[in-house]
């Protein structure tokens, strides 16, 4: 874990080294000042030597200026090192997440990843700055002040030693109990972020069902859980201050009492006593700083572990040593494919799938909810790897291709259509960043999107809100289809992507595909028979197995499930799941 995090310091190593150097310099100057002050009192004030006062006073000013300069530089470099460290963490996490396969993504919740990149990284940033500054300053101040105290009076300095041991024990107990509560509190931020994300993304549903009070209550509960744990932790940490004050004042009383007796006995000077009292504050304040550093570091251990998990997570889909860099054609072969999302799953999602699809064919895919239609097509672009068997594209196993090469030739319009904030052209160019406006317009005409785009005042420069909230479901689907067409793929997968468009528009889209991109293999997942009956062949899936595969006429004659669905939809207006569909 430490090695993973340390690797993110990168270009801020110089700042990370200079920070503790300046902090030590600051401590040395601060330690020197009480010693010079004692000299002024004993050799200047008591003896009436004004020259000595001026000379030593000047050295005190120089020491104070050096201390101020070192403190400023330590703060400057510490801030740069910690913020740069946090920046590198976020950048590396985000870049690593982009490489994740769907199987990797499934391990983490969206809210969990957001928390790790925000709250957890902020905790590590604060902890790193504390380590560079306080973890250097506090021990150095403690050691220097203790050494000077023993140099002045070993007898009185032993009071500090006893106080340090006792206070250290108290702080250890405080840290132990506070740490437990902090470790429980920070993972709760995942729940809080999940509530916020779910509520904001589904705000229309919340308002439609008048569930604002319920959502507010749920958020209050999630927030309350964090509040309770943090209050418990702070109730423990709060004992730090009184324990420190009790120790400081006790030490001051003992040093004053014992020191006064030693001054009377001429074994200690007034200046030395004042220096010892100053060192008393340095020693005990150093302990308090150390205690806060330990609390902060302990709080950050859970965050460090969570961030390291994301940084160390490696995609289970990797390029082979010598990947194939060209997809010959759009032919697809499934050879005894068995697949499940988890290795220890009781039943596979797909079982013994055997298919041979020719390049340029239009294939319809029908099946009830949960029949694994999306799982089947996800294997083609290698979003997941099969457990058994093989999937080939262009006659080559997909595991032998370069991932980018394969996915650039397999365009997928997902069930859940996603548009990004930006103009329509910006969204279309996700398919091809170098596409001209004319190419975008042609793709939109194929997807029957050009008509409604031209009704907008800004046409193709119309701004799309985040998530595509200012366009309808059918318009969003057609824009996503156009975006996929701009990739000029050898395989086009439409995963129930025309469910929100009317039947006439659906027919126009299918006709345009047949006429304009005949060489592209088209896989159309649909619930409506009308969407696939003109396909070259149709796959009927039932509980992760192929129940039928053939033309519309062949399936009507030979497949009971397909025939029942056809009759229900053409006769009674039912859907796949109501009659004969696999559940």
Of 17-21, 133-137, 284-288, 335-339, the least confident: 284-288
Helices in 334-466 by DSSP H: which ranges? 373-378, 403-408, 424-428, 437-446, 450-453
pLDDT mean over 261-285: 80
What single DSSP character describes residue 421? S
Angle between helices 437-446 and 503-516 (to 10 degrees): 120
- What is the average pLDDT score of the chain? 83
Q: Is residue 571 exposed (0-12), middle (13-18) or buried (19+ Cβ within 10 Å)?
A: exposed
Specify the pLDDT at position 274. Answer: 82
* Helix, strand, or coil (residue 46): coil
Specify the pLDDT at position 72. Answer: 92
**Model pLDDT for residues 317-375, shown as the tens digit of each residue:** 778 888 888 888 889 999 999 998 877 777 888 888 898 999 888 898 888 777 888 88
Contacts of 198 (CB under 8 A, 6+ apart): none
Residue bearing tokens 């100057």: 29
pLDDT mean over 527-545: 85
Specify the pLDDT at position 583. Answer: 31
Cα end-to-end distance, the chain, whole Å: 45
- What is d(CA 581, CA 564) in angstroms, rounded to the nearest whole number? 9
* Of 350, 348, 343, residue with least CA distance to 372: 350
Specify the pLDDT at position 62. Answer: 92
Contacts of 214 (CB under 8 A, 6+ apart): none
Percent of the chain with pLDDT over 70: 96
* Of 184, 91, 84, 73, residue with least CA distance to 125: 84
236 pLDDT higher than 70: yes
- What is d(CA 260, CA 15) in angstroms, rounded to the nearest whole number? 46
Specify the pLDDT at position 77. Answer: 92
The side-by-side arrangement of strands in the sheet containing 350-357 is 350-357, 332-339, 388-393, 396-397
Give, in words, the CATH class of 2-312.
mainly alpha
Specify the pLDDT at position 582. Answer: 37
Percent of the chain with pLDDT over 90: 9
Q: Given phi > 0 = left and psi -120 to 50 = alpha, else beta, which region is 580?
A: left
Per-residue buried b or exposed e for 283-304, using 16+ beta carbons within 10 Å of the residue's own CB: bbbbbbbbbbbbbbbbbbbbbb
**Model pLDDT for residues 7-33, shown as the tens digit of each residue:** 888 889 999 999 999 999 988 888 888
pLDDT mean over 417-426: 84
Identify the bridge partners of residue 365 per DSSP, sorted by sequence position.
525, 539
Q: Given phi > 0 = left and psi -120 to 50 = alpha, else beta, which region is 11?
A: alpha
- What is d(CA 240, CA 14) in angstroms, rounded to the nearest whole number? 34
DSSP string, 125-165: HHHHHHHHHHHHHHHHHHHHHHHHHHHH-HHHHHHHHHHHH
pTM for the full predicted model: 0.69
581 pLDDT higher than 50: no
pLDDT mean over 516-538: 84
Specify the pLDDT at position 499. Answer: 67
Band the pLDDT of 500: cuts 50, 70, 90.
low
Band the pLDDT of 81: cuts 50, 70, 90.
very high
Of 70-79, 536-545, 566-575, the least confident: 566-575
237 pLDDT higher than 50: yes
Contact call for residues 484 and 497 (beta carbons, < 8 A): no
- Give whichever of 52-66, 231-245, 334-348, 494-508 has the largest mean pLDDT: 52-66
Specify the pLDDT at position 186. Answer: 67
105 pLDDT higher than 70: yes
Band the pLDDT of 578: cuts 50, 70, 90.
very low
**Model pLDDT for residues 195-209, shown as the tens digit of each residue:** 787 777 778 788 888
**Model pLDDT for residues 300-314, shown as the tens digit of each residue:** 877 888 888 888 888
pLDDT mean over 394-404: 89
Of 219-223, 379-383, 574-578, the least confident: 574-578
Specify the pLDDT at position 115. Answer: 82
Specify the pLDDT at position 571. Answer: 66
Identify the bridge partners of residue 313 per DSSP, sorted by sequence position.
none
More confident residue, 444 or 577: 444
Q: Which tokens sit at 85?
A: 């460290």
pLDDT mean over 226-255: 81
């Amino acid at each position: 874990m430490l090695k993973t995090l340390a690797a993110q310091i990168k270009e801020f190593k110089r700042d990370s080294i200079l920070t503790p150097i300046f902090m030590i310099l600051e401590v040395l100057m601060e330690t020197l000042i009480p010693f010079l002050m004692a000299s002024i009192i004993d050799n200047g004030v008591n003896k009436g030597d004004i020259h000595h006062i001026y000379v030593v006073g000047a050295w005190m000013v120089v020491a104070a200026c050096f201390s101020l300069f070192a403190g400023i530089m330590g703060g400057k470099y510490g801030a740069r090192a910690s913020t740069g460290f946090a920046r590198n963490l976020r950048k590396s996490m985000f870049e690593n997440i982009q490489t994740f396969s769907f199987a990797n993504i499934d391990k983490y919740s969206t809210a969990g990843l957001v928390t790790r990149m925000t709250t957890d990284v902020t905790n590590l940033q604060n902890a790193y700055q504390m380590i560079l500054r306080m973890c250097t300053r506090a021990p150095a101040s403690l050691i220097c002040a203790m050494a000077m105290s023993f140099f002045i009076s070993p007898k009185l300095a032993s009071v500090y030693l006893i106080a340090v041991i006792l206070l250290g024990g108290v702080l250890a107990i405080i840290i132990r109990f506070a740490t437990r509560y902090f470790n429980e509190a920070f993972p709760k931020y995942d729940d809080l972020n999940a509530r916020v994300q779910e509520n904001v993304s589904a705000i229309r549903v919340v308002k439609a069902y008048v569930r604002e009070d319920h959502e507010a209550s749920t958020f209050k509960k999630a927030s309350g859980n964090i509040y309770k744990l943090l209050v418990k932790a702070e109730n423990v940490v709060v004992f730090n201050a009184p324990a420190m004050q009790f120790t400081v004042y006790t030490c001051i009383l003992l040093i004053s009492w014992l020191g006064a007796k030693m001054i009377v006995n001429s074994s200690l000077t007034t200046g030395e006593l004042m220096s010892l009292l100053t060192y008393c504050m340095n020693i005990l304040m150093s302990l308090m700083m150390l205690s806060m550093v330990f609390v902060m570091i302990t709080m950050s251990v859970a965050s460090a572990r969570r961030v390291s998990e994301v940084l160390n997570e490696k995609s289970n889909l990797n390029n082979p040593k010598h990947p194939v860099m060209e997809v010959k054609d759009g032919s697809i072969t499934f050879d005894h494919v068995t697949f499940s999302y988890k290795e220890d799953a009781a039943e596979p999602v797909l079982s013994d799938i055997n298919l041979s699809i020719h390049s340029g064919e239009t294939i319809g895919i029908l099946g009830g909810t949960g029949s694994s239609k999306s799982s089947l097509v996800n294997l083609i672009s290698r979003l997941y790897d099969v457990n058994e068997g093989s999937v080939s594209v262009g006659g080559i196993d997909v595991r032998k291709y370069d991932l980018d090469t394969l996915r650039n030739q397999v365009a997928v319009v997902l069930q859940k259509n996603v548009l990004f904030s930006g103009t329509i052209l910006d969204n279309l160019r996700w398919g091809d960043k170098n596409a001209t406006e004319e190419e975008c317009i042609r793709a939109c005409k194929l997807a029957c999107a050009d008509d409604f785009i031209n009704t907008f005042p800004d046409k193709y420069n119309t701004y799309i809100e985040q998530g595509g909230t200012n366009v309808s479901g059918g318009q969003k689907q057609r824009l996503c289809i156009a975006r996929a067409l701009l990739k000029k793929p050898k395989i086009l997968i439409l995963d129930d992507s025309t469910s929100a468009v009317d039947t006439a528009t659906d027919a126009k889209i299918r006709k345009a595909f047949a006429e304009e991109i005949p060489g592209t293999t088209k896989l159309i997942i649909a619930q409506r028979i009308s969407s696939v009956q003109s396909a070259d062949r149709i796959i009927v899936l039932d509980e992760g197995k192929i129940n039928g595969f053939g033309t519309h006429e062949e399936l009507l004659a030979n497949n009971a499930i397909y025939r029942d669905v056809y009759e229900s939809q053409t006769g009674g207006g039912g859907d796949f799941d109501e009659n004969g569909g696999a559940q």
